[in-house]
Structure 1
Amino acid sequence: MPTACADCPLRCQPMFQPMNAGEVAFMQAFKSSEVEVAAGQVLLWEGQSSPWLYTVLRGQGLRSKSLPDGERQVVNFVFPGDFLGLQSGVMGEMKHSVEATTDMTLCRFERNELWRVFRDQPARAFDLTYLAATEEHFLGEALLTLGQRDATSRLAWALLRLWRRAVATGMQGPRGVPLPWRQRDLADALGLSLVHTNKTLARLRILGAAHWSGGYLAVPDPARLAELAQEEDGASTPRPLF
């Protein structure tokens, strides 16, 4: 049975800003359906237009761009609460692909109804603008990381962001937070070789900053990981949930 927006398990998580009753009611009317996607399935294809927009309710995935030689560049990683397909909704086609890494549950919206948000719910429309600005800010940080940080700082930065995001969406358990991607995915995202990535992950483990094993990431010393990442050790600012 589809999850009612009023009962959305993400709304109570510290990652997201609160929504008033009117916004919840609007999102319930805006929501077209709920879909299940199997691990490995591509949700959105680079270069294609999609009639749908999605919010991730459960599960994890990744965004990537294809290269002419058949390789790919991982752009970033997908978590519950992420809004997918905005590029297609605004620009007419996707500039990257989105693939499910685990089984996923998605709230689905009709792309043609997007303009109704701007017409009837300006506060929600601003939230979309905020999310786009957040994505731009992330890409700026990623560019800084690739250009100026060494391998240890790159991996520490990436693991810190992934850990903070998972914790803020209520995904932490006894083994840490789920990190279902391959080392190859993280290496592709950070512009490192697989061998270099493996050695640097071992160094972070020896330093007691982070341990990634068996699909879970444990961070016994967040302050140490933040220091290695050249980041401040603090909570992220809550963002809108669309």
Structure 2
Amino acid sequence: MQTRKVGRTVNRTVCERCPLRTKEVFRSFKKPELEYVSDFKKGEFSADRGATILLEGGQSAHLYTVLSGWVFRYKILDDGRRQILNYALPGDLIGLQGSLLDKMHHSIEALTSVNLCVFERDNLMSLFRGHPGLGFDVTWLAAREERILDEHLISIGRRTALERAAYLLAHLYLRAKAVDLISDKQNEIPITQQHVADTLGLSIVHTNKTLRKLAQRGLIHWKERGCEIKDINGLLKIASWDGIITAKRPII
């Protein structure tokens, strides 16, 4: 599968006026923490939809926090088949694996146009040494990623195709809603049926049939470049999933 890397530096958002800090889902910073993160941040990076941000096997001097937009993590098999591992939304930390293991074991692509806060990986240890609270936040974010992957593994291993699709769409909808990417006026998840297929481990034909069943029940409405969620409770019921526990979460 051909990848393309398209990115550019953009004007820096002042951490004190970061738009994510006003969102209810994120915990507030203590003043010394905010000052440190402002110094730790080295700039911002903007990428277009479809751009490769990090490539499997490569090395990166940076890690990133998603400031706006959607990205996804994936691996490519030798024969070109793609497995999407997870999606990252505003407030999520990406590139940590490359910071700890020297090289990436997955790739990251922009699902929409994105803006990313850039941090130098060589300074990560100073965060743990000087600000244990922020160090715990990084650990919390890594643990959250593991919890999400556990649920995805259960979905692929034990849920039916219909249950898998319902879980994935509900999962993305609730995560997007928590960071105000979903509202009464905008409740569309910006994924294609190919993204769904590559996430669920299904063929595109099987995926299309499965999503059509959800649409026939009035739960979703599929559009050219996204999926409109019509009945989140109906999706949760089919997936036999209680949803995301809402609690204050950290942000770097």
Normalised to the residue count of structure 2, the TM-score between the two structures is 0.90
Long gaps (5+) in structure 2:
1-10
Q: State how far apart, in whole Å, the 2-side matches of 1:235 and 1:225 are.
A: 16
User: Contact (CA 8 Å) 2:25, 2:179: kept in 1 or not?
Assistant: yes
The correspondence for 1:114, drawn from 105, 117, 124, is 124
Q: How does 1:55-204 map to 2 (within 5 A)?
A: 55-204=65-214
User: Equivalent pairs: percent with the same residue?
Assistant: 40
* CA displacement at 1:234 relative to structure 2: 5.9
> Cα distance, 1:17 vs. partner?
2.3
Q: CA deviation at 1:216?
A: 4.1
Give me the whole-angstrom Cα distance separating, in 1, the residues matched to 2:110 and 2:229. Answer: 25
CA distance in 2, matches of 1:228, 1:66: 30
Following superposition, the deviation at residue 38 of structure 1 comes to 2.0
Compare 199-208 and 81-90 and name the one that shifted more.
199-208
Q: State the 1:22 CA deviation.
A: 2.2
Matched to 1:185, the amino acid is: H
Residue number in structure 2 paired with 1:53: 63
The correspondence for 1:16, drawn from 26, 34, 37, is 26
In structure 2, the CA distance between the partners of 1:146 and 1:94, relative to structure 1 (3 Å rule), is: same
| In 2: Cα distance, 1:148 partner to 1:107 partner | 37
Which of 207, 232, 236 is the aligned partner of 1:226?
A: 236
- Of 122-131 and 31-40, deviating more is 31-40
Deviations 1:8-32 (A, max 9, x none): 1112223322222222221111100
In structure 2, do the counterparts of structure 1 residues 233 and 140 end up closer, same or farther at CA, with 3 Å as the change threshold? closer
Question: 1:8-47, aligned counterparts within 5 Å?
Answer: 8-47=18-57
Shift of 1:39: 2.0
Cα deviation digits, residues 92-125 of structure 1 (max 9, x gap) = 1111000112221111011101011011110000
TM-score of the superposed pair, with normalisation by structure 1: 0.93
> 1:180-200, CA deviations, whole angstroms, 9 ceiling, x for partnerless residues?
222111111101111121122
Q: Summarize deviations over 1:129-185 as a string: whole Å, max 9, x none.
A: 111111111111111101110011101100001000111111124553342222111
> Structure 2: how far apart are the matches of 1:184 and 1:2?
34
Match for 1:110: what amino acid? E
One-letter identity of the residue aligned with 2:221: H
State the Cα distance separating 1:222 from its structure 2 match: 2.0
Q: Which residue is equivalent to 2:8?
A: none
- For 1:241, what is the secondary structure of its paired residue? coil
Given the superposition, is the C-alpha separation of residues 110 and 183 from structure 1 closer, same or farther in structure 2, using an over 3 Å criterion? same
SS in 2 for 1:99: strand
Aligned to 2:222: 212
Bigger CA drift: 223-232 or 170-179? 170-179
Q: Distance in 1 between matches of 2:55 and 2:83?
A: 14
C-alpha distance in structure 1 between counterparts of 2:42 and 2:26, whole Å: 22
Distance 1:38 1:150 in 2: 34
Residue number in structure 1 paired with 2:5: none
Query: Residue 132 and residue 20 in structure 1: after superposition, are their counterparts in 2 closer, same or farther (change >3 A)?
Result: same
Tell me the distance in 2 between the aligned counterparts of 1:156 and 1:178: 15
Q: Aligned equivalents of 1:102 and 1:223: distance in 2? A: 26
Aligned partner letter, 2:189: L
- Is 1:238 aligned with 2:231? no
